[in-house]
Chains A and B, each alone.
Chain A
């Protein structure tokens, strides 16, 4: 029997009304997240990954409209009242952003920022909150936690700030953590520290994680399942092994080939994806990746391919059914 999903997203779209017309940042996204699972969302700029997350949590900009359904523990998030969303954010869903200075207030001490969610959401007294905060700082491997409680964010290094941001996101023991490119801005050795920490946290607290990133290494390291997004749609979804060893969408394949890797056994020359990422204002009528796709068929320019099962748990949105064996760059 399949476990009940913690988060069930169905047919979510986010549309913005801009001066140049309506822009669909996210189109008809379906997503499932089970307790304790780590789901990675891969995409570049314009893929809509960040807008989708903001849309789920009621954080879309004022000129945006979210449609569809997103049930968190059975409760509908889309269109929920601001007060209820406030309660959920922070207490039941934690956030980590790319830039730790986005989550951290430069004018408040670390201690104050860590204890605030506890006193507000969990109604914990200040002494107990401080004790829990120090314990959380230990959990994220911050040395001398008592001293750090009195410090301000600018006194910490980038890596430490991100760890504090993770501590803040987890302090109320939420069941779900959303991390939007948490290691992109970090140095490689610091990234390794944060990845290792995220793995520990997952094991210790059983938190489900939605990890948004464009780094395939990070995905291989942490994810159980992967959704690949392009131009606001999910183009492939499957387990991490399926996506890496048996990917079926040309974009996924192109991404894997074009990213510089350490491994010696790869080709001398990177296989670039020609063209530019899609402009959400001017999406083509059919598949958005068609202009850059080496396997493009006529039907691809006319209609948007639906997300269909390849195998159990593995789906792709592509009309091309053959093997992905073309190495050459597109004509």
Chain B
């Protein structure tokens, strides 16, 4: 079992917002991330899955210090990243990088490919000469499948898949230990998704990366991750090895996610059409008391509205549900 390279403990990110009604209204708190705890093990890919409003994007940025943390710890290399000052955090960025969802939006349209990829080098190794920088840029371009002749081109001259390779090259040029992948293939064409997913998994092996892979549906993380974490309204519902999540999901929300995905199989679809999850997503400003999922859960009991379920081990998984054992027994 590898050692954790990144440990997140009870991370909370709250935003103060003003509601639209009234001039002198009280500011309200939006609980984007509401107590998330997990370990990222060395060399693994941890998938983070959740729908809109679950806080996965905010959490990813909070881990990297791009969004201020309200409370909690982000432990990396013996330091708590959530409580470093700006200068110290900048120094740590060499080790933690991010790949964005929209490849073209994350590249400065006025810079050439070479300049974009070289930028992290300029921040951390300012003493390198231009030709040393170029050599490193060309090297990482080779790793991600870009040709050296493309080094002077501009982002808008590339397709979505190629632009994402540029983003990956930029993220990896400093050889970070941890890379957060924020829905890296959602914005790409279907036939390109597989290329990029394969590329990421090759690079992970080659460079020994630990990846935090964020996606909005379970199918995307299936091929990338060994363990998967399911978020809902800023809290962790379940954290388990992939095969357990798929075969025996313990949390009702995970089960709902799986049942909602239409399989690419017409016969199965006819005999077993998708079952939509009822209800609407509650507002993150006033989440339900107790278990945040209870308003849409068919198993909810009184205890669910009174007591917040803790994330606890059930078998090899971690589940935040009072009734996990009963549900597991019932489905067995």
Contacts and interface: CB of A to CB of B under 8 A. Distances in A.
Nearest to A158: B52
A189 B260 contact: yes
Interface string B241-268: 0010011000000001111111111111
A188 B216 contact: yes
Query: By DSSP majority rule, is chain B's interface helix, strand, loop, or mixed?
Result: helix
Contacts, number: 139
A261 B280 CA distance: 26
Interface in B205-236: 216-220, 222-223
How many residues of B sit at the interface, in one of the four size bands? 35 or more
A77 B87 CA distance: 65
- Which of A188, A195, A260, A269 has most B Cβ within 10 Å? A188
A147 B126 CA distance: 61
B23 to A, nearest CB: 20
Contacts of B256: 189
Nearest to A193: B276
A220 B197 contact: no
B144 to A, nearest CB: 14
Nearest to B49: A188
A263 B219 CA distance: 9
Given A195-B274, A244-B264, A277 B222 contact: no
Nearest to A242: B266
A189 B190 contact: no
B194 A187 contact: no
Contact of A260 (B159, B193, B246): B193
B266 A192 contact: no
A45 B201 CA distance: 25
A302 interface: no
Interface stretch (A115-123, A169-177, A211-219): A211-219
Nearest to B264: A216
A217 B222 contact: no
Nearest to B296: A189
B275 A220 contact: no
Given A187-B216, A276-B192, A270 B198 contact: yes
B266 A240 contact: yes
Contacts of B281: 157
A220 B266 contact: yes
Given A188-B217, A221-B273, A262-B219, A256 B264 contact: yes
A258 B266 contact: no
B159 A277 contact: yes
Given A157-B281, A187-B51, A262-B258, A217 B189 contact: no
A241 B191 contact: no
A245 B220 CA distance: 23
Interface string A199-223: 1000000000000001111111101
Q: Which 3 A-B pairs have the closest CB atoms?
A: A217-B262, A192-B260, A187-B51
11 contacts: A45-B189, A159-B280, A192-B262, A221-B262, A241-B266, A255-B190, A260-B194, A260-B220, A269-B201, A272-B191, A277-B189
Given A193-B277, A276-B159, A276-B162, 16 more contacts: A187-B216, A214-B190, A220-B263, A220-B265, A240-B266, A241-B266, A244-B265, A258-B193, A258-B194, A260-B197, A262-B246, A270-B223, A271-B194, A272-B191, A272-B198, A273-B195
Interface of A: 44-45, 157-160, 187-193, 195-196, 199, 214-221, 223, 240-241, 244-245, 254-256, 258-264, 268-274, 276-277
